[in-house]
């Protein structure tokens, strides 16, 4: 960490800062350079609250140099590859992991039909929400554990891995008991108790980017899970809230190359929640693949008009068939195969 001061040779300030570093954070520090303006703090400084130093009068800037998300950082590792099955992996250089399924699991028939639709598209990961975070309290909020049983049954029948969301600490264990990947939703990205609990989970966790989270905040949230002992974290870019109102959320494609440099964790794009309209999903999906995503998660439904949640953005059979065909073409063009 580097602390740069406004004035040269301000010995009382230098002494004050160095004493604070030593006493409060047990950090050695050195005055470097000829102007006596730069204090260098070598070693691990992730426990140091940099705001304490930024707020001291006479301090110009504080730069941690090392990112605060040590475990998620690309500096430590090139890539994390999560192998769900020998032929289904997330994060390997030449593959594109596509997850598809309904927003919510609604009934045995709907789950089975949607799984069949996903499988016809040749994908191997089935999504389905059993615990639903809804904006309003009166909306359908999922079938709970019964829904998870339907997801597991469909996964087994069609030979697919499964993913479903947990909204609280207790649900992490329940979802992990039935699904292969536990999803943490955008609204819970900064639910730190939930992240800690996900760190103890034995299944991979897909963490969705918060509606207003910076990439650093996103990676710090992932860091909670990694620090808790779960190395299998997948990031999901699902669009952020901006001033734009025509699209449901603004899909932040720039986050893909940026995250690729910042972290070794796999990155999935969710074009469905970003678009909010089924007819726009394909274009965003293709853009995600072209921008370097390791995978996609797409909402599909045999009869979107009857869906109990997110019907307007769910692809029907025809749209899904067209979408997955184009996804394969673009994936091929960027050197990836759909798994
Ligand atoms: C979902 O995947 O159905 C969902 C609710 O997503 P998000 O948390 O991104 O809104
Ligand atoms: Mn949804």
- The residue whose CB lies within 8 Å of the most ligand 1 atoms, and thus the one to mutate among 162, 171, 207, 208, is 208
pLDDT of residue 76: 81
Q: Does residue 193 belong to any structural domain of this protein? A: yes
State which ligand 1 atom lies nearest to the alpha carbon of 186.
8
pLDDT, residue 33, reads 86
Specify if 259 maps to a domain: yes
The position carrying tokens 């008009």 is 305
Are 17 and 53 contacting, i.e. CB atoms less than 8 angstroms apart?
A: yes
Asked whether residue 73 is domain-assigned, the answer is no
Instruction: With respect to residue 76, please indicate whether it lies within any of the assigned structural domains.
Output: no
Q: Is 247 exposed, middle or buried (0-12, 13-18, 19+ CB in 10 A)?
A: middle
Which sign does the torsion angle of CA 121, 125, 126, 132 carry? negative
Residues 246 and 290 occupy one common structural domain: yes
* Same domain membership, residue 280 and residue 316: yes
User: Residue 61 in 3-state DSSP?
Assistant: strand
Ligand 1 within 6 A of 105 CB? no
**Closest ligand 1 atom number to CA of residue 133:** 5
Judge if 248 and 163 occupy the same domain: yes
Count CB neighbours of 267 within 10 A.
Answer: 23
**With a 6 A CB cut-off, is 39 part of the ligand 1 pocket?**
no
Locate the ligand 1 atom nearest the alpha carbon of residue 132 and give its number: 5
Report phi then psi at 31, rounded to 5.
-85, 125
Q: Residue 34's pLDDT is what?
A: 85
Inside any domain, residue 143:
yes
State the Cα–Cα distance between residues 145 and 120, nearest whole angstrom: 26
> Same domain, yes or no, for 86 and 40?
no
Provide the Cα torsion 39, 45, 49, 54; round to 10°. 20
How confident is the model at residue 205, as a pLDDT? 98
Query: How confident is the prediction along the chain (339 residues), in pLDDT tens digits per residue?
Result: 999 999 999 999 999 999 999 999 999 999 998 889 999 998 888 899 999 999 999 999 999 888 889 999 999 899 999 999 999 999 999 999 999 999 999 999 999 999 999 999 999 999 999 999 888 999 999 999 999 999 999 999 999 999 999 999 999 999 999 999 999 999 999 999 999 999 999 999 999 999 999 999 999 999 999 999 999 999 999 999 999 999 999 999 999 999 999 999 999 999 999 999 999 999 999 999 999 999 999 999 999 999 999 999 999 999 999 999 999 999 999 999 999
DSSP state of 263: B
243 located within any domain: yes
Q: Are residues 177 and 49 in the same domain?
A: no
Q: CATH no. for residue 89?
A: 3.20.20.70
Of 173, 254, 202, 188, the C-alpha closest to 82 is: 202
CB of 276 sitting under 6 A from ligand 1: no
Instruction: Identify whether 75 is part of a domain.
Output: no
Q: Which two tokens stand for residue 280?
A: 């726009």
Question: 89 and 189, same structural domain?
Answer: yes
Answer yes or no: is the C-beta of 248 below 6 A from any ligand 1 atom: no
Specify if 70 maps to a domain. no
If asked whether residues 8 and 94 sit together in one domain, one would say no
Q: Is 133 in the pocket of ligand 1 (CB under 6 A)?
A: yes
Q: Are residues 9 and 117 in the same domain?
A: no
Q: Are residues 14 and 134 located together in one domain of the fold? A: no
35 in the same domain as 113: no
Q: Domain check: are 162 and 29 in the same one?
A: no
The count of structural domains within the chain is: 2
The pick from 99, 100, 102, 103 for probing ligand 1's pocket by mutation, whose C-beta has the most ligand atoms within 8 angstroms, reads: 103
Distance, CA of 120 to CA of 317 (rounded, Å): 10
Q: At what angle do helices 215-227 and 192-199 cross, to 10 degrees?
A: 40
What CATH number has the domain bearing residue 56? 3.30.70
pLDDT in the model for residue 64: 86
Domain that holds residue 45: 2-63
Kindly give the distance from the C-alpha atom of residue 298 to the centroid of ligand 2, in angstroms, as a whole number: 9
Please tell me the distance from the alpha carbon of residue 330 to that of residue 296, in angstroms, as a whole number.
Answer: 13
Tell me: do 136 and 257 sit in the same domain: yes
Specify the DSSP element, H or E, that contains 38: strand 38-40
Q: Are 265 and 233 in contact (CB under 8 A)?
A: yes
């Amino acid at each position: 960490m580097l602390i740069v001061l406004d004035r040269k040779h301000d010995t009382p300030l230098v002494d004050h800062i160095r004493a604070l570093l030593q006493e409060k954070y047990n950090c050695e520090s050195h005055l470097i350079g000829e102007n006596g303006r730069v204090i260098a703090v070598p070693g691990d400084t992730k426990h140091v609250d940099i705001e304490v130093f930024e707020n001291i009068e006479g301090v110009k800037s504080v730069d941690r140099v090392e990112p605060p998300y040590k475990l998620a950082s690309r500096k430590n590792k090139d890539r994390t590859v999560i192998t769900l099955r020998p032929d289904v992996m997330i994060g390997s250089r030449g593959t594109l992991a596509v997850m598809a399924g309904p927003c919510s699991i609604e009934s045995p028939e709907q789950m089975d039909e949607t799984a069949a639709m996903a499988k016809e598209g040749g994908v191997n990961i089935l999504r389905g929400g059993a615990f639903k975070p809804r904006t309003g309290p009166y909306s359908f909020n999922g079938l709970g554990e019964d829904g998870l049983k339907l997801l597991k049954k469909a996964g087994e029948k069609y030979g697919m891995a499964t993913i479903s969301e947990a909204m609280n600490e207790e649900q992490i264990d329940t979802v992990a008991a039935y699904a292969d990947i536990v999803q943490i939703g955008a609204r819970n990205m900064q639910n730190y108790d939930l992240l800690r609990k996900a760190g103890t989970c034995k299944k991979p966790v897909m963490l969705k980017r918060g509606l207003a989270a910076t990439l650093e905040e996103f990676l710090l949230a992932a860091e909670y899970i990694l620090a808790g002992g779960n190395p299998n974290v997948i990031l999901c870019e699902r669009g952020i809230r901006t001033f734009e109102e025509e699209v449901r959320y603004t899909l932040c494609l720039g986050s893909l190359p940026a995250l690729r440099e910042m972290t070794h964790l796999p990155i999935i794009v969710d074009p469905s929640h970003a678009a909010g309209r089924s007819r726009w999903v394909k274009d965003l999906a293709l853009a995600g693949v072209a921008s370097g995503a390791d995978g996609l998660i797409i909402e599909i439904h045999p009869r979107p008009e009857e869906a109990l949640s997110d019907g307007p953005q769910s692809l029907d059979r025809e749209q899904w068939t067209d979408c997955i065909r184009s996804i394969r073409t673009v994936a091929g063009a960027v050197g990836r195969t759909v798994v």
